[in-house]
Each structure stands twice: as C-alpha cells, then as structure tokens.
C-alpha cells in the first residue's frame, strides 16, 4: 500500500460526537472526504443536519444520531444503534464536550458533575462500548479530543481541566490494553481554536491579546487546522502510534 492510500478511509464507518459545528464538524467532513461513512452526532435531533448535508454534498454517505452525553445510558445506546445499522464501527472520535467557568471557591457541585460526566465519563462509556466491537472485529481507531489543559491548569475552569487531564490518562490506559487487538487509541490536544466555546476569550480584548502574544503562529487556530491530524490518527498511516496526545496549538506549548 502506497503512502497516500494509507490515509484513505474507504469502507470505514466513523462516529464523530459533537459534530454539529466547530471542531467536530470539521473532523466529520474531513473523514468523509477521505472516504469514510460518517455518523454525525448532536445532543438534540436535527442539530447535526448541516454537517450531514455538507458531507452528502461531497457525494459521501452520512446519517445523524442524537443523544445527550450527560445521560449515562446514551453512549452504549448510540454505539448499539450504529453497529445495528452498519454492522461495525471502525473509527470513534470523542469530541463532544462542555465548559463551565467559575472561580474554584465558587464552583458548584452541579457544574462539576455535569462537566466530568460529559467530558470524561461519557468518553469512557463510548470507548468501552465501541471497544467491544473493535476487539471482536480485530481493528479500530479511537481519537479523543483532549486540550492544552490536559497539560496545564488553566484559570476558573477546574472541572474542565480535571476532565481533560483525565482524557489524556484514559487515552494511555486504553491504548495499553487494546493495542494487542489492533486498536489504536490516541488523542488530539487543540490549542486556542476559534469556536463557540472560546468566544468569551476572543471577545475579551486583554485576554485575546495575551493569548495571541503567546502563540508563535500569531493567530487563533481554526477547526480545519485539526482535520489533517484527525484523518491521520483514523487511518492506517498511524498504525504504530499508541497512547499519544498530539498537540496542535500553533506552538503554544513550545513557547
């Protein structure tokens, strides 16, 4: 197989959580461009319709699936729906997430529980359910969306930092167990990407300036900046990469 062919995803079934917009949408479209059938996810029915339409416009197959990740029963249910319909799952992109901002001394129990459930526990449940099928079929790719806060502490985001640090650890733990089954588990740690989640930072003139001064590339990232890494980690080109957190940050961590 030539190197270009190794990046192709023809015949693969991919599930991208949180793919109604932003990072998840860009990754879903990129996987479809590489040849995969892509199941797009949103917390509410119809939420990912724009992504599905964009993929179908490419001539690729896509369907939508919905469910809120705060519900403990949803991850296994969604994986079951996918495997019932398509008979397999080859790629799982764990992108769905949330953020709540508050000083640590004022951070509520409810906010803590919500963020940990959506950002960490649901990823374990999705990976566990998908992993059972991937082990049975003898192959699979799981890509988690981590964060710069998998390495740093951040400010006024204690639950988000804890959850994303957990994602990094879970990525390594699952890779250790499942590599022998020909399943690759890796993660992408995006830098400062212009999305809805970072809109408050972009709108804060002082914070925006401080962020840009720290980024060697001199700009905020875009969701499309992550697409190539996602395709690589989902493809045969990354078959010997395990438990790695790939930082895509314009040089932030190198500064």
Phi and psi at residue 27, in whole multiples of 5°? -70, -45
Q: Flag whether 117 is in a domain.
A: yes
Percent of the chain with pLDDT over 70: 100
CATH value at residue 64: 3.40.50.720
Residue 229 falls inside a structural domain: yes
Mean of pLDDT values over 157-177: 98
Verdict on whether the full-model pTM lies above 0.85? yes
At 23 the pLDDT is: 97
**Residue 14 within any structural domain of the chain:** yes
User: Residue 82 is inside which H or E element, if any?
Assistant: helix 74-86
Residue 197 confidence (pLDDT): 81
Non-local (6+) Cβ contacts of 155 within 8 A are none
Parent domain of 118: 3-195+224-247
Name the least confident of 37-51, 64-78, 195-209: 195-209
Active site residue 160: yes
Is residue 212, in this structure, part of any structural domain at all?
no
Q: Band the pLDDT of 196: cuts 50, 70, 90.
A: confident
Q: What is the average per-residue pLDDT within 59-78?
A: 97
Q: How many domains does the chain have?
A: 1
Average pLDDT of the residues of the chain? 97
Domain for residue 170, yes or no?
yes
Bridging pattern class, strands 183-190 and 140-145:
parallel
Contacts 24+ apart (CB under 8 A), 4-11: 6/235, 6/236, 6/237, 7/34, 7/231, 7/232, 7/235, 7/236, 7/237, 8/34, 8/35, 8/235, 9/34, 9/35, 9/36, 9/90, 9/91, 9/231, 9/234, 9/235, 10/35, 10/36, 11/35
Instruction: Give the per-residue pLDDT at 1.
Output: 87
Residue 32 forms part of a structural domain: yes
Over residues 83-124, the pLDDT tens digits come to: 999 999 999 999 999 999 999 999 999 999 999 999 999 999
Residue 16 in domain: yes
Predicted confidence at residue 133, as pLDDT, reads: 98
- What average pLDDT does this structure show over 6-13? 98
Catalytic residue among 15, 160, 192, 220: 160
Q: CA 78 from chain center: how many Å? A: 16
Mean pLDDT along residues 59-63:
96
Question: Is 64 inside a domain boundary?
Answer: yes
């Amino acid at each position: 197989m030539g190197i270009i062919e190794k990046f192709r995803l023809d015949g693969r079934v991919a599930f991208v959580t949180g793919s109604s917009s932003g990072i998840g949408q860009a990754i879903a479209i990129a996987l479809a461009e590489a040849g995969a059938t892509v199941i797009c996810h949103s917390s509410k029915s119809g939420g990912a319709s724009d992504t599905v339409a964009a993929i179908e416009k490419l001539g690729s197959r896509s369907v939508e699936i919905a469910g809120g990740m705060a519900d403990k029963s949803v991850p296994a249910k969604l994986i079951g729906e996918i495997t019932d319909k398509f008979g397999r799952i080859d790629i799982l992109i764990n992108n769905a997430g949330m953020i709540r901002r508050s000083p640590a001394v004022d951070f509520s129990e409810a906010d803590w529980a919500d963020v940990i459930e959506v950002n960490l526990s649901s990823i374990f449940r999705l990976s566990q359910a998908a992993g059972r099928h991937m082990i049975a079929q003898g192959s699979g790719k799981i890509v988690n969306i981590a964060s710069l806060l998998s390495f740093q502490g951040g400010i006024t985001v204690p639950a988000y930092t804890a959850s994303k640090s957990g994602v990094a650890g879970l990525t390594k733990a699952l890779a250790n167990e499942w590599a022998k089954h020909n399943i690759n588990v890796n993660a992408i740690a995006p830098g400062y990407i212009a999305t809805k989640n970072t809109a408050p930072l972009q709108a804060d003139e002082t914070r925006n300036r401080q962020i840009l001064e720290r980024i060697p590339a001199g700009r905020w990232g875009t969701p499309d900046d992550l697409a190539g890494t996602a395709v690589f980690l989902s493809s045969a080109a990354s078959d010997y990469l395990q438990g790695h957190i790939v930082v895509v940050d314009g040089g932030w961590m190198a500064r």
